[in-house]
Amino acid sequence: MECDIGISTIERDGYLDVPMVRHQGSVATAGRDMVAEEYPVALVYNGIAHAVMMATPRDLEEFAVGFTLTEGIVGSVRDIYDLDVCCGEDSAEVRLTIAQPDLVKLKARRRALTGRTGCGVCGIESLALLDLVPEKITRPLPPLVASSAILGRAARELLPYQELMHKTGGVHAAAWCTAEGAIVKVFEDVGRHNGLDKLIGYLALHRIAMHDGFVFLSSRASYELVRKSARMHIGLVATISAPTSLAIRIARQAGMQLASFCRRDGFVDYTADDGEDGGQHAP
């Protein structure tokens, strides 16, 4: 069952066809290439500008819903009453109407961030607002546990879903997978945290239980990706690349499983009780 938020949006392709000159040794060849589109997206809550993020301008309704949830602006998608996406030539504005108690809390946070492509926490006014101590997540019984079989399946299946990556070579992917490792939905963006927000927004809008599967990311595991996932009580985050020390710390504090260096035949578990349960680094 889908959520009944009022949504108005205009889609863009997420890439541009640009002129270029390719140099190979002493030979220069003029041509055209497709590049990922990077585009400022302003998020406005009840008429108050809150954040400007640099994102790929597609799936912006999912992005706005996911950002609103993973940043703790609202506690439930039911607290988002309306959403309108207005796309211009060089920027977009997403206007959301949220519940009044959530707006009061948002104003109290005194947060105004301007995020760059690789940064999900730029503009935080103090270290206290980084929210580095997550609550323990609620995991189903029995909990989903990473294995080479399910993560290997996700690693094998991801590539065909990466449409923008095939075209541009310059975006990250965030995938939702079943407990068996089958990929359900993939979102892509120039910012890895934006891709995750789009994915979580989609799950929330379609009322897909977030404890029934796991997140699989084509990027490294950084602090903001694990923190956003913890806030949504996602028990397993898996990444193709390496984790950071703070990502591991947040995952352990939240009671999550963090699996990185995921390949078709193995992975590394950075949240196991001992240091030998997570497989080996893949080449």
The answer as to whether 274 is a domain residue is no
Element containing residue 175 per DSSP (H, E): strand 172-178
The answer as to whether 225 is a domain residue is yes
Question: How many domains would you assign to the chain?
Answer: 2
- List pLDDT tens digits, range 26-83: 999 999 999 999 999 999 999 999 999 999 999 999 999 999 999 999 999 999 999 9
Q: Which pLDDT score is estimated for 126?
A: 52
Task: Please tell me whether residues 171 and 251 are part of one structural domain.
Answer: yes
- pTM score of the predicted model: 0.87
Contact of 16 with 90, CB cutoff 8 Å: no
Task: Please tell me whether residues 172 and 249 are part of one structural domain.
Answer: yes
Q: Is the pLDDT of residue 95 over 90?
A: yes
In which domain, by residue range, is 164 found?
A: 148-269
Among residues 100, 130, 160, the one where a domain terminates is 130
Task: Please tell me whether residues 161 and 100 are part of one structural domain.
Answer: no
Q: Which of 3, 86, 119, 122 is catalytic?
A: 119
Q: Which pLDDT score is estimated for 11?
A: 61
- List pLDDT tens digits, range 188-224: 999 999 999 999 999 999 999 999 999 999 999 999 9
Q: Which of 136, 120, 143 lies closest to 214 in space, CA to CA?
A: 143
The answer as to whether 214 is a domain residue is yes
Task: Please tell me whether residues 261 and 201 are part of one structural domain.
Answer: yes
Task: Please tell me whether residues 119 and 179 are part of one structural domain.
Answer: no
Residue 133's SS3 state is coil
CA-CA distance, 157 to 232, in Å (whole number)? 24
- CATH, residue 231: 3.40.140.10
Binned at pLDDT 50, 70 and 90, residue 118 comes out as: low
Task: Please tell me whether residues 175 and 264 are part of one structural domain.
Answer: yes
Assess whether 119 carries a catalytic annotation: yes
Residue 113's SS3 state is strand
Q: Which pLDDT score is estimated for 128?
A: 54
